[in-house]
Amino acid sequence: MRKSPVDEEDYGPPEYGVRSSDIGSFLPEGTYRPVPIVWFASAWFLQSIVLLVVFFTLLNKHPAFNILACGLLTFAIGRWTFRRGMAEAGSGWRLFTGLALAFNWAVVSAGALALYWEAMGVG
């Protein structure tokens, strides 16, 4: 709530957004409000990096190891993202986050299977 300069009473709606400090408007006092795009982007970039590392680390193993390890990491990253705040986000953000993480996992799994079948002479 804003204070009246005369009698210090509260009036008007509470102030939101960027406020100015007593020093002047050139030094704003920003308030951090997490948004779903931050949670989505951090989960997607983290998963992309982690899945690449795991994929190339387990490349000479049976693809089931790669698919299972990447699936477990995808689940863990998704769970971490939803515990951070994505669970309270809109249904579109929740759906899109789940689909994006599943898509990354599916691409890595398909790559592991394709390389295995190529090595076996099936493809």
The residues spanned by each domain of the chain are: 36-120
Neighbours of 108 (CB within 10 A): 23
Q: Output the pLDDT for position 118.
A: 87
State phi, psi for 11 to the nearest 5 degrees. -150, 155
pLDDT < 50 stretches in the chain: none
Residue 122 has a pLDDT of 75
What pLDDT is attached to residue 22? 56
Residues 103 and 71: their CA atoms lie apart, in Å, by 11
pLDDT tens, 62-89? 999 999 999 999 999 999 999 988 988 8
Helix (H) or strand (E) holding 51: helix 36-57
CA angle at 63 for the pair 57 and 67, rounded to the nearest 5°: 80
Residue 2's DSSP bridge partners are 11
φ, ψ for residue 61, nearest 5 deg: -95, 175
